[in-house]
Structure formats: C-alpha cells, structure tokens
Amino acid sequence: MANNITLTIDGTKVTVDQGQSILDAAKKVDIRIPTLCHHEDLCVAGNCRVCVVEMEGRNNLIPSCATPAEEGMEIITSSPKVRRARKDIMALLVSEHNTQCTTCYRSTNCELQDLAAEYNVDNNMYLSVLKPNGTIDKSSWSVEKDDSKCIRCQRCVRTCAEIQHVNALAVTERGRDMKVSTFMHLPMNEIVCTNCGQCITHCPTGALTERRYYDEIWEAIDDPEKHVVINTAPSVRVALGETLGFKVGERVTGKMVTALKKIGFDSVLDTDFTADLTIIEEANELLVRLKKAFVTKEEVALPMITSCSPGWVKFIEHMYPDHLAHLSTCKSPQQMFGALTKTYYAEKIGVDPSKIVSVAGMPCAAKKFEANRPEMRDSGFQDVDAGLTTRELGHMIKQSGLDFLDLEDSDFDSHMGESTGAAVIFGATGGVMEAALRTAYVVITGRNVPFENLNITPIRGMESIKEATIKFENCVSEYSFLEGVEAKFAIAHGLTNARTIMDQIARGESPYVFIEIMACPGGCIGGGGQPIPTNNEIRLQRIKAIYDEDMGKPIRMSHENPEIKKIYQEFLKEPLGEKSHHLLHTKYRKRKRY
C-alpha cells in the first residue's frame, strides 16, 4: 500500500498518497489552484508557474503541480505574495498574446481569458511583445494553427507525444524566439499529422482550433437551389448539450434534431443508420476472411481491423503502411452516408444529386480531412461536402437564436434515419466491436451473444487495451468451420495504444481475429471536435449516456434495422455485392513517415 502524507493547506489538514502533488492535495479538499500548463490527461510540466503557492520555511514560491506533497508541509495558496506573482505571470503572458478576444473562436471558453479576468490583468501592464505579421496556418483541412495566441504551455506537444505518439508538434528555438512548431516549420498539411484534433481539445487558448466551415453551410442553407442534408454521429447527441446549457452527459437527441430542422436543413438524418450498415458489411467481410483462412487456406490479412476512425486510418498509412491490408475495406459511417445521400437518397426524394449538399455533424476533426480524401467520390460527386464538429453545431444553434433548452423533441427524417442501439454505441470505445459481435454471433450460431441483455461488458470501459474471447459452439452449417473456435478480440483507443497493437502485428505475434481501434481517448465521445473541456471524468459521463441510449432503443442489433433490410432489398441487393463494393468500400494508401 502507498504511504500516506499529511500536510496543511490554508489551515486544512489533508492526507494524500505519497507521490501526489500539492495540487492533487488541494483538489482533495476543494481548494482551487489555477493552472494553465497542467492537464489531468498529461504528464507534469510545471512551466507556466500560474499554480505557484507559498510554503512555510521557503522564500521562493513553488509550483504546486510539480511539487510532491511532503509530511508536515504548511501551504498557503492565496497570500498577497502568491496573488501578486500570479497576476504578474498572467500579465506577462497577455503581453505576448493576441488579445483580440472579441473575435476569437475560443472567446468565453479560454483558460487564459478567464484567468486574466479573474486577476484583473491590464494589458498595458507590460509592453506588448507580440510579434508583428503573424500568419495563421490554414493549410490543413482539419486543424488551424495561430501562433499569435500560443502561450507555450506545451499541452499540445505533450498530447501529441503521450496520448497519440505522433509527435507532429514540438518546441523549437530558444529564449524569446521559442515557439511550438512542426518538423522543419512545414505547414500542417505537409507533416505527419493524423488530424485527430486532440491538440485542440487540450489547448487552453485559441492557438489551435478546428478549420471552420459553418459560414459555407449557412450559404448553402440560404440558397433555394440547394437541398442541404445533415447526418449526426452518435456521440454528438451526448455532448452537444454541453455547449448549450445542459450538464455533461445529458442526451439531447430530440432537441438536436428540432434545432437542426429549425436552422433550415432540408433533412436531418442519423449517421447511426450507416453505422448499422457498416456492421452488416464489416461483419460479412470478417466472415469471408475467416472462411478463407480456415476453409480454403488462402493467405488473408488477419486480424482484421476496423476503419471507422479517420485519425487512426491516417496513422496506419504513415506509421505502418506495410500492414494496410489488415484494415477493413469498409468506409466509415460518415462516408457511407455521403455516398448513399447522393445516390439512394437522391433517388428516393427525386432530387438531382448535384443540388444536394451533404453535411456531417461529427465529434471529430479528422472527419473534415476524410471528407476531402480523393477516394471519397464514389457517388460521382464529393460524397460529403463538409464536416462540422460538435462545437461548430453548437455555434450554429446559438447563431440561429434558438432557445435550445426549451425546444421540443423531434424524430430523424426517414430514408436513412432509423437506427439501432448497436449503432449508438459506436460513439464509445469498444462500441463498434460490440455491435459487430452482436450481429456476427447471430449469423454464426443463430443465437444471440451469451451476455445478459446483449451487453458485452468485457470490452467496455476505459482500459488502454481491452480483450475478449468468445467460443463459437453449435454453429449453423454454413459456418461449421468455426465450431469450437475460441476467437480473441481486442479494442484500443488512443494512438499510443494503437502502436502497441500494431507492433504486435508487425512481429507476427497477434492472437486476435478482429481489432477495433479508435484514435481518440474514450473513442468518439472524446473526439477532437467535442466540447472543451474534455477529461476522463467527462468522457465517462458521455459513455454512460451512450449506453443508456442503447438500452432505450427498441431494436439493439444492426441486422434487425428495418431500413437496413429495405436498402438491401431496393438498392444494394446484398452485403459485399457489386454496388456495396462500389459505394461503401475503399482502399487506403501508403504515406511518408517523415
């Protein structure tokens, strides 16, 4: 057991485990110490010094985030000396910051702005040293970088290194020229960046934001010649409310649909529909690979890995290009939706597909990049015209003047608006795997998965890498080759964990048949386009909301969705068929690692 340490903070005794910091101890007794470089997802940095406190017996102030608690410490968190120091630090940061706060995208949701107001910082306290002629890097489809708003806290650098193991950003230069930059100072679209957006959700200011496209969407909505369709991802409905006055984890599905209809979208549809479709295609693809491996003894890439996360897909393209065959050929639900919007949906409503503007409301920054991939034009047009983050949707609803809290609930429109609980759980890490297993087990055995209420609990939760083993018994005749097979499955979230999985595959040591990988911590509920702040506690509340919505659905397995059955009967004909291959499947390509 860990040794206990007892110290006193502002006259209150607190006991913590040995190794915990003064900041940890203060949180335990609800004493707030301001921070900027600190984030609970990341390692300790201690470089902003906003969290300084006074310690009895020491002349100099100490950083509470980087100082371990020690027995008998006497700490004061808000003495005149501490307050003066913090105000000085804030004033220095403001002196080299672009303080055009009224026009900043992060205004009212900026940690620097909040602390500057809290400490009543006058921006004339120190001479401004903001470098002139600063440029904003808008080269990436997904990430916008504005150095004039960077406070050099290095949270983005640590995020990219620790959580994602990509290292697209680094500290360069020294002294007054120190900055967060890229390899060789290249623009964002020319570096090894997965577009995941985790740097954005961890940035305390507006130095890193998503590329924003809602002005173009407003123009399309206002154009009477355009038919504007939006599909919204499962994790948007459990996070959008955070931007509009609801508590964390509140489901706002019906209000979201109402708001989007009132904004002026011609049709509001559900990405969950194509999540169900993804399961049908992906489960069949896995079964085909297993049959080749077990029956015809063909060489086939196993384990098969999901390809729903565009950040993960770009990661494997850069880092493990020799193993791209392991990826499922299925497009993501967003891209399946786009392809069907301008083919099947256009036919059903009798609209010229050239007049359709297909918009995706997503929890993800990488979805913007994915929408602009040259591979994603199988409908004969760009399948998805624009991707909007959850944050952008929140801004659009605010701009429309709607009182979101008082909106009535509405249902998604038809023709691609029906979905199941299996599709909803795509939003949480392990959800794609669970949805696939619910259907695959029925196909293989004719029975439901042997878990209470279809809940495959071993693959849920926030563990770095999760595993499950399912034994197939009493299989239907078509899949008798799987009789008695104990199949192993794995789930990883965050690209550091993806690297662990891929290194295992590269060594030829993977014991799994199917693997789910999501680029972001917690899966899509923790995506780079979700409301800020996002931390582990918030992720867990969003995950709970996802599973609650699943349990409330009348249908909870993808293959039972009546609209899925209908689209195969009327349009696609069969899973993995000619039309499915053309519209719903794709190939990815090798990219440079450096």
- Return the DSSP state at 65: T
User: Are 436 and 298 a contacting pair, CB within 8 Å?
Assistant: no
Q: Percentage of the chain with pLDDT > 90? A: 95
CA atoms of 261 and 238, how far apart (whole Å): 18
For residue 14, which of 30, 1, 3, 2 has the smallest C-alpha distance? 30
Q: 3-class DSSP state for residue 146?
A: strand
As a whole number, mean pLDDT of residues 16-41 equals: 97
pLDDT band at 124 (very low <50, low <70, confident <90, very high): confident
- pLDDT tens sequence across 316-374: 999 999 999 999 999 999 999 999 999 999 999 999 999 999 999 999 999 999 999 99
Count the alpha carbons within 13 Å of 108 in the hemisphere toward its beta carbon: 5
Tokens of 452: 């209470």
SS3 category, 256: helix
User: What gap in Å lies between CA 431 and CA 26, rounded to an integer?
Assistant: 36
Q: What strands, in cross-sheet order, belong to the sheet with 514-518?
A: 304-305, 514-518, 486-493, 465-471
Rg, Å, the chain Cα set: 25
Separation of alpha carbons 282 and 376, rounded Å: 18
Q: Which amino acid is at 331?
A: K
CATH topology match: 103-210 vs 225-594: no
Cβ neighbours of residue 445 closer than 8 Å, sequence gap 6 or more: 472, 473, 474, 475, 476, 479
Q: Is residue 91 within 8 Å of 121, Cβ to Cβ?
A: yes
Q: What is the CATH number of domain 103-210?
A: 3.30.70.20
Q: Which bin fits 494, alpha (ψ -120 to 50), beta or left (φ > 0)?
A: left
| Residue range 374-414, pLDDT digits in tens | 999 999 999 999 999 999 999 999 999 999 999 999 999 98
560-570 average pLDDT score? 97
Strand-strand pairing, 514-518 and 486-493: parallel
Of 435, 385, 62, 88, residue with least CA distance to 229: 385
Both tokens assigned to 479 = 């899949």
DSSP, collapsed to helix, strand or coil, labels residue 47 as: coil
For the stretch 152-178, pLDDT in tens is 999 999 999 999 999 999 999 998 889
Beta bridge mates, 4: 17
Give the residue from 567, 183, 163, 514 showing the smallest Cα distance to 344: 567
Model pLDDT, residue 173? 92
Of 576, 327, 552, give the one whose Cα is nearest residue 443. 576
**Residue 478 Rama label (left phi>0; alpha psi -120 to 50; beta):** alpha
The pLDDT value given to residue 31: 98
Confidence at residue 345, expressed as pLDDT on a 0 to 100 scale: 97
For the cut 80, the answer to whether the pLDDT of residue 29 exceeds it is yes
Tokens of 244: 């509009």
Read off the tokens for 468. Answer: 């499950």
Neighbouring-strand partners of residue 490: 467, 515
Please provide the size of the chain in residues: 594
pLDDT for residue 133 is more than 80: no
Reading across the β-sheet that carries 267-270, which strands appear in turn?
Answer: 267-270, 227-232, 356-362, 386-389
Mean pLDDT of 23-27: 98
Name the residues annotated as catalytic: 282, 285, 308, 328, 367, 370, 375, 524
Pairing of strands 208-210, 143-146: antiparallel
Q: How confident is the model at residue 131 (pLDDT cuts 50, 70, 90)?
A: confident
Structural tokens at position 594: 């450096």
Q: 508-541: per-residue pLDDT in tens?
A: 999 999 999 999 999 999 999 999 999 999 999 9
Residue 127 has pLDDT above 90, yes or no: no
| Average pLDDT for 15-37 | 97
* pLDDT band per the 50, 70, 90 thresholds, residue 3: confident
Tokens representing residue 487 in the block: 């199949």
4-78 CATH fold: Ubiquitin-like (UB roll) (3.10.20)
pLDDT of residue 2: 59
The overall average pLDDT reported for the chain is 96
**Cβ–Cβ < 8 Å for 227, 355:** yes
Residue 510 phi, psi (nearest 5): -75, 130
CATH architecture of 225-594: 3-Layer(aba) Sandwich (3.40)
Residue 1 has pLDDT above 60, yes or no: no
The Cα 418–Cα 561 span in angstroms is 7
Q: Is 453 left (phi over 0), alpha (psi -120 to 50) or beta?
A: left
User: How much is the average pLDDT of 140-154?
Assistant: 97
Report helix, strand or coil for 272. Answer: helix
In 309-374, where does DSSP find H-type helix? Answer: 310-319, 333-340, 346-349, 366-371
Contact 389, 198 (CB under 8 A): no
The contacts of residue 336 (CB under 8 Å, 6+ apart) are: 274, 277, 278, 330, 583, 584
Instruction: For residue range 423-480, list pLDDT tens digits in order.
Output: 999 999 999 999 999 999 999 999 999 999 999 999 999 999 999 999 999 999 999 9
Q: How far is CA 380 from CA 183, 231, 358, in A?
A: 36, 19, 13
Residue 417's pLDDT band, with cuts at 50, 70 and 90, is very high
Domain residues of the chain, as ranges? 4-78, 103-210, 225-594
pLDDT, residue 153, reads 97
pLDDT of 349: 96
User: pLDDT tens digit string along 227-251?
Assistant: 999 999 999 999 999 999 999 999 9
